[in-house]
Amino acid sequence: MNREQLIAKMRGRIEMCRRLAQSTTDQRTAETLRQMANEGERDLAELMARPVSEPAEIEIRPEAPPAG
């Protein structure tokens, strides 16, 4: 997968999380989906800030779910 395809795929997943968060009535699920979208946006910004010559590997850093 090239860089542009990866960026498009990430954008699609971010948008899907946002749409699902709006469509669910479960507040915990909605918050988790919004958190996933926010993390995706941070990862995407990090990827886009890299020079094109750098590898497009993204370190996956799972964050702890909110205490509840």
Count of the separate structural domains present in the chain: 1
In whole angstroms, give the CA distance from residue 23 to residue 59: 30
Q: Determine the pLDDT at residue 61.
A: 58
Give residue 42's domain range.
1-68
Report mean pLDDT in 10-residue bins for the chain, 68 residues: 88 97 97 97 91 62 59
* DSSP result, the chain: --HHHHHHHHHHHHHHHHHHHHH-S-HHHHHHHHHHHHHHHHHHHHHHHS-TTS-------PPPPPP-
Instruction: Please state whether the predicted TM-score (pTM) of the whole model is above 0.75.
Output: no
Question: Count of alpha carbons within 13 Å of 32, Cβ hemisphere only?
Answer: 11
